[in-house]
Amino acid sequence: MATPVIPSFCQTCGGALRETLSQAGEGPPFICTSCGRAVYLDPKLAVAAVVTTENQGVVLLRRAQRDKAYGKWILPGGHVDRGEEVTKAALREVKEETGLSVRLDGPLRVYSYESNPTVLIAYAATATSGELIMSPEALEIKVFPFDLIPWDELGYLSTRQALKDLLPVSCL
């Protein structure tokens, strides 16, 4: 996941921000030196889907974005837009990244990690229609049978945990 961006300037007046000495959860981490505005850094909400197909497979894509997870297999997903319904964000991201229309079968779990700004909600989903397509965000897209998941080449800890949360124990 990306390193959190540290803001330098106030969104209200453009003044320089000063880092406060507050501990996590106690008071704002930044104060504007010009207007005194308190600036908080919020988590980023993301969604992903473990999409299963009728032939007992899971859709994974190989990440094309050049970061730590480059070239690794990840779930289709992305950030939730402000004001967007989370389930709609999941359907949108899956469609954009895989070409598939899916039915959301329910949330699997919420995944969050110390010092990581992203909070991920993963859904279990079933492919209902559409053909697999490659988006510019993927180097490759593939349906993996449950027993052939590339466990050593997954992009994120959340990818691994969401797959483990969904797949039958016999496939782990």
- Select 15 or 57, whichever has its Cβ closest to Zn ion: 15
User: Do 115 and 74 contact (CB within 8 A), yes or no?
Assistant: no
- Select 12 or 22, whichever has its Cβ closest to Zn ion: 12
Helix, strand or coil, per DSSP, at residue 77: strand
Q: How far is the CB of 83 from Zn ion (least distance, A)?
A: 25
Q: How far is the CB of 38 from Zn ion (least distance, A)?
A: 10
Q: Residue 51 pairs with which residues in a beta bridge?
A: 125
Q: How far is the CB of 39 from Zn ion (least distance, A)?
A: 9
Binding interface with Zn ion (CB under 5 A): 10, 12-13, 15, 32, 34-35, 37
- Select 4 or 14, whichever has its Cβ closest to Zn ion: 14
Q: What is d(CA 36, CA 127) in angstroms, rounded to the nearest whole number?
A: 50
Sign of CA dihedral 95, 142, 139, 47: positive
